[in-house]
Amino acid sequence: MDTQSDSALVEQAARRVGPGARTALRALLADVAEDGGRALRLGTGLLGSADPLVRRAGCELLAEAADHHDEPVREAVTVAVLAHGVEEEPDHQVQRAAVRALGAGQDGRAVPVLLALAGHPDAEVRRAVAEALPPVSAGAPGRVLPVLIRLTGDADPEVRDGATFALGFQVDADSPAVRAALWSRTADGYAAAREEGIRGLARRRDPRALPLLAELLDDEAGAHVLTFRAAAILGAPELLPHLEQYDPADPGVAAALAGCDPAARARDEAFAAALLDALHRQVPGSDAAVHAERFETGLTLTLTVAGENLHWSVEGLQGRSGGAPDRAAALVLADTAGARA
């Protein structure tokens, strides 16, 4: 199918109304987005339409393309959307779709435009901005923190929810200002925003989150999978009685139980120490170290090979080796054989 035929098909779907119309459009866009070049050509062309429904579909297609492909498609999506002039776009729904496309592009060049739109009068645009800021600023989250913090206190509850999730779970940053923003949300009247505030604090290992997280775990409706992840990161033994009511086979539960169990953590640490000893025996003078990620669970082994830092999950190595440190060390060295050659 040529670009002109594609364009007519998408335009017809974009203008269609009634039950199932949006679902059908999304399915069409997902299908077109499988071919990155095709999607870029079509999406960019649709942005020039006089019909806001078609421009919106163009932005949505570009977002799909960015989600389906790596560079250079994501870079091209960002360039196309920025060239459209998101701030000057008169239709709010098109702006929301454009902001989501910029987030999918994961390109730092989008940051100034997103920050400018953070005060947009449309709440859905502000929420889209909150959701887009983490992926476009992954390398330097500090520059977006003041805006994300401000959005966690937005008048609209959905904006607060989206911004608090972004700040708490998608941004690796910690400061008194970040914690103060998350703590404020723990008293939010909107339940979803309150939960995000609690989980965000727990991810920063803030002890104030402990009783609040226990309360979420004891909810009669059950706990969200991210609540279990927050519990695993916080690693408080006091949470064990609250976690033991759940099936360890359920997503996130086993990791939370292990993270909060001092005996399990001691076994993991002992294996990590034995693994380091085994590596140094097999390769004397090897530059190997084990560390804990500040915002994540578990231990990570880092080994410098030919000037490059390589990483392994200690838990993963423990499973692959059947708990044998010498075998785990051999697996690591086998993984690095190509880099050492």
Report the chain's terminal Cα–Cα distance, integer Å: 48
Token digits of residue 146 = 């003041």
pLDDT of residue 251: 95
Q: In what order do the strands lie in the sheet with 299-305?
A: 288-292, 299-305, 308-313
Quote the percentage of the chain above a pLDDT of 90: 86
User: What is Dmax (Cα atoms) for the chain?
Assistant: 70
pLDDT of residue 143: 87
pLDDT of residue 179: 98
288 close to 294: Cβ distance less than 8 angstroms: no
280 close to 288: Cβ distance less than 8 angstroms: yes
pLDDT of residue 286: 80
Q: From CA 292, how far away is CA 249, in angstroms rounded?
A: 25
The one-letter amino acid at 83: A
Token digits of residue 329 = 């060390």
Average pLDDT (84-102) is 96
pLDDT of residue 305: 82
Q: Which residues pair with 301 in a beta bridge?
A: 290, 312
**Among candidate residues 283, 258, 278, the one with its CA nearest the CA of residue 321:** 278
Q: From CA 234, how far away is CA 207, in angstroms rounded?
A: 8
Strands 299-305 and 288-292: antiparallel
| Range of lowest pLDDT (9-13, 116-120, 164-168, 195-199) | 9-13
pLDDT of residue 336: 86
Average pLDDT (231-251) is 96
**Among candidate residues 242, 333, 335, the one with its CA nearest the CA of residue 283:** 333
pLDDT over 80 at 149, yes or no = yes
| Confidence at 308, pLDDT banded by 50, 70, 90 | confident
Query: pLDDT tens, 42-83?
Result: 999 999 999 999 999 999 999 999 999 999 999 999 999 999
Query: pLDDT tens, 262-306?
Result: 999 999 999 999 999 999 998 887 888 999 888 988 899 998 887
pLDDT of residue 24: 94
Query: pLDDT tens, 26-43?
Result: 999 999 999 999 999 999
pLDDT over 80 at 234, yes or no = yes
Residue with tokens 């330097």: 140
pLDDT of residue 306: 77
pLDDT of residue 307: 80
pLDDT of residue 22: 94
Query: pLDDT tens, 94-115?
Result: 999 999 999 999 999 999 999 9
Query: pLDDT tens, 1-33?
Result: 456 688 999 999 999 999 999 999 999 999 999
How big is the CA angle at 213 (ends 259 and 195), to the nearest 5 degrees? 120
The backbone torsions φ and ψ at residue 185, rounded to the nearest 5 degrees and listed phi first, read -75, -20
Token digits of residue 165 = 């999730």
pLDDT over 60 at 339, yes or no = no
Sign of the four-CA dihedral 70, 72, 77, 79: positive
**Among candidate residues 144, 122, 131, 121, the one with its CA nearest the CA of residue 101:** 131
Please give, one letter per residue, the 3-state secondary structure of the chain: CCHHHHHHHHHHHHHCCCCCHHHHHHHHHHHHCCCHHHHHHHHHHHCCCCCHHHHHHHHHHHHHHHHHCCCCHHHHHHHHHHHHCHHHCCCHHHHHHHHHHHHHHCCHHHHHHHHHHCCCCCHHHHHHHHHHHHHHCCCCHHHCHHHHHHHCCCCCHHHHHHHHHHHHHHCCCCCHHHHHHHHHHCCCCCHHHHHHHHHHHHHCCCCCHHHHHHHHHCCCCCCCHHHHHHHHHHCCHHHHHHHCCCCCCCCCHHHHHHHHCHHHHHHHHHHHHHHHHHHHHHCCCCCEEEEECCCCCCEEEEEEECCEEEEEEHHHHHHHCCCCHHHHHHHHHHHCHHHHC
The one-letter amino acid at 281: R
pLDDT of residue 139: 78
Query: pLDDT tens, 177-230?
Result: 999 999 999 999 999 999 999 999 999 999 999 999 999 999 999 999 999 999
The count of other CB atoms within 10 Å of the CB of residue 315 is: 17
Query: How many Cα atoms sit within 13 Å of 43 on the Cβ side?
Result: 37
Query: pLDDT tens, 150-162?
Result: 999 999 999 999 9
